[in-house]
Structure 1
């Protein structure tokens, strides 16, 4: 019996935050000194991010009285920030879930388990409850919430879903990761806080995991193996703590080097007997540009192999636990997701996309005629309808190996091996 990811859906807030605009906004904040302004310019300009999304209206040029005081953006207590979290999470959560369900061949009545993931806020009844009520799920659905794990939270959720589906082959597990990182951004001259402010963003991603047979021709991601490791060093270099004025990220400049030095030892046993560079598809959590650079160098990967991860960083920034599912969505849907933007499930206030793995038109990622799948305008790619993908029978039959990874406090490294194939 094999367990697979049947479909992935994503959602982001409607407020787009161009990186240049965010840079200028934070550089102009009261209390920023000359050195701080230079550091802000360097961090934002060197981030490889073009656009992020935020629930904070004030960051996008609006007014947000709860998070603005005396002209200072995001000058608020933890309680005020968390109140915004509780208010804004439901629409993103439900938008991503509906996008995942759309076209998956599964109905809300099929869902047996709900696993929610978030590290950017708390309330109860929480996100897991919101999904049951908002989607009209059975009140007997088994619910689980994984909180405050950081950017790698999607992997423990996948591990739980895999276990549920192996224990009950008829189970359908809905995973939703939702993060509102920007409510915790802050104006600061501190280099580490500046780096955090330059990369974190808001978004939600949902995945449906099951062992039920998928409709013929549906592209799926089979879960082959999942592994977790704590590196020998790095405990003090990456941390996520709660303060009186929001949550604070400790993100030292040593993190990329620590990851680069340890990643081959973590990944190699999972991919054996092949070497990492022979795995064609990669979903690497873009904690920042330097982390992607170090992983690329350490594993001998190509620009093409890193393109989906760099594309999500460019278009969305670091959305913590949701980010790796955004990358897997691109890989599952042949980078068609960006062309499917539009209202999701009636949620007019959010942007939602969904990839169910069905034929969406256009060439596949593995087609040698295709260059960088993130080149060009992300909104002008393949449409959500059309003819079959160009994929040879041999590739379709054997599937394509995929490795995904994410990093978080500890320093924890989570890795998964998948096979992209068709049912």
Structure 2
């Protein structure tokens, strides 16, 4: 367990000092976390060999990504080891299989961490962008896992890497409206089911970055009647309260991150504009300052920063623009190194590492930030 003190943070003069804001008694609290990945982890060099990538420019993109390993489900290969093309229907089937498997394992791990059972779940929110299912992933999980059929559910589809905080907003709101009941949010992204392999630089950037992963958290709001609270989750005292959200849509960059149809390939293809890191970085301050202004806080009051592991340039741009230290984003960069970009669930992998680190103290504030298509920045303020 790491117990080293965090380095001092730069003084923040952008938000005026006002009396500290306190959460309401009914605020939702994160009481557990669980994660899962697909079957096998590959180094970037192994992936270059598997996909037989020889173009020096493409190889450079892979090897200079600050990513060491990623979990992926490689396409079937022929006798010579060449990866066979996968039609869109095959990719959708892969998405369903991986999302169900990883999602179920992440939910079970979350419940174990929370001291809860499947029968305790009252609300299930599932987030994904890497495939489409009707009925949604939530219905399939309820059926496959034996979650009670009366469970309320919602599916958040197509919002991309920022979607985890959009879904957490809905999940926390439901928990506050239903105090004492258990809400579970799951982010399940089978990025292996969203790959196009065509040798272009456009797809090379995407293919060098994303990995498979799922993460789930359990959220409970305090109940005036303790008798209505299901078991006393052992992690409840350690998990933070959710204090408020702030969003920002960068309307001038609505097409900078998108998932659109590739006529030539006959499948969907993800696109990342090379200017995304700088656009996101340039807009990070205003949304964070708005989030903190509502609580009467300065950035220097924030002890923990959990930023989406969107990529090396994105993380650096956000860090520089917000005046953060490398220590502040240690879990963000660590998750990128070990898993790549896990889309909507990346920030929860960082949250899990922070909780395992055991350095948070009662009263500490934290900011969680995700970025994705729109282009959108989502933030949430929490307090332990």
Q: What interval of TM-score do these two structures reach, taking the shorter chain for normalisation?
A: 0.7 to 0.9
Cα pair distance change 1:84/1:276, threshold 3 Å: same
Q: Which of 318, 325, 337 lines up with 1:295 in the alignment?
A: 318
Cα pair distance change 1:13/1:263, threshold 3 Å: same
Paired residue for 1:131? 141
Deviation at 1:407, TM superposition (A): 1.0
Paired residue for 1:18? 43
Q: Does 2:204 align with 1:194?
A: yes
Q: SS of the counterpart of 1:249?
A: strand
Q: SS of the counterpart of 2:327?
A: helix
Q: SS of the counterpart of 1:304?
A: coil
The aligned runs of 1:142-181 (5 Å cut-off) are 142-181=152-191
Paired residue for 2:335? 312
Paired residue for 1:365? 359
The aligned runs of 1:1-16 (5 Å cut-off) are 1-16=26-41
The aligned runs of 1:231-250 (5 Å cut-off) are 231-243=250-262, 244-250=265-271
1:117·1:321 contact (CA, 8 Å) conserved in 2?
A: yes
* Distance in structure 1 (CA, Å) of the matches to 2:184 and 2:283: 32
1:229·1:413 contact (CA, 8 Å) conserved in 2?
A: yes
2:367·2:380 contact (CA, 8 Å) conserved in 1?
A: yes
* Distance in structure 1 (CA, Å) of the matches to 2:329 and 2:314: 11
Paired residue for 2:382? 418
* Distance in structure 1 (CA, Å) of the matches to 2:322 and 2:164: 23
Paired residue for 1:285? 308
Paired residue for 1:203? 213
Q: Does 2:66 align with 1:48?
A: yes
Paired residue for 1:224? 243
Cα pair distance change 1:116/1:279, threshold 3 Å: same
Superposition RMSD in Å: 2.0
Q: Which of 243, 261, 267 lines up with 2:282 in the alignment?
A: 261
Cα pair distance change 1:164/1:115, threshold 3 Å: same
Post-superposition CA distance 1:316-356 (Å, at most 9, x none): 0011111111111112232xxxxxxxxxxxxxxxxxxxxxx
1:277·1:300 contact (CA, 8 Å) conserved in 2?
A: no
Paired residue for 1:408? 372
Paired residue for 1:369? none
TM-score, structure 1 normalization: 0.77
Paired residue for 1:386? none
Cα pair distance change 1:324/1:246, threshold 3 Å: farther
* Distance in structure 1 (CA, Å) of the matches to 2:329 and 2:275: 21
Deviation at 1:53, TM superposition (A): 0.3
Deviation at 1:70, TM superposition (A): 8.3
* Distance in structure 2 (CA, Å) of the matches to 1:200 and 1:72: 21
1:74·1:186 contact (CA, 8 Å) conserved in 2?
A: no
Q: SS of the counterpart of 2:59?
A: helix
Deviation at 1:69, TM superposition (A): 10
Deviation at 1:74, TM superposition (A): 5.5
* Distance in structure 2 (CA, Å) of the matches to 1:170 and 1:196: 42
* Distance in structure 2 (CA, Å) of the matches to 1:23 and 1:277: 42
Deviation at 1:186, TM superposition (A): 2.8
* Distance in structure 1 (CA, Å) of the matches to 2:253 and 2:57: 24
* Distance in structure 2 (CA, Å) of the matches to 1:13 and 1:88: 7
* Distance in structure 1 (CA, Å) of the matches to 2:142 and 2:349: 23
Paired residue for 2:6? none
* Distance in structure 1 (CA, Å) of the matches to 2:266 and 2:207: 14
* Distance in structure 1 (CA, Å) of the matches to 2:344 and 2:208: 17
Cα pair distance change 1:76/1:233, threshold 3 Å: same
Q: SS of the counterpart of 1:418?
A: strand
Deviation at 1:191, TM superposition (A): 2.0
1:233·1:258 contact (CA, 8 Å) conserved in 2?
A: no
1:112·1:142 contact (CA, 8 Å) conserved in 2?
A: yes
1:277·1:301 contact (CA, 8 Å) conserved in 2?
A: no
Structure 1: stretches of 5+ with no match in the other structure = 59-63, 335-363, 367-394
Deviation at 1:52, TM superposition (A): 0.3
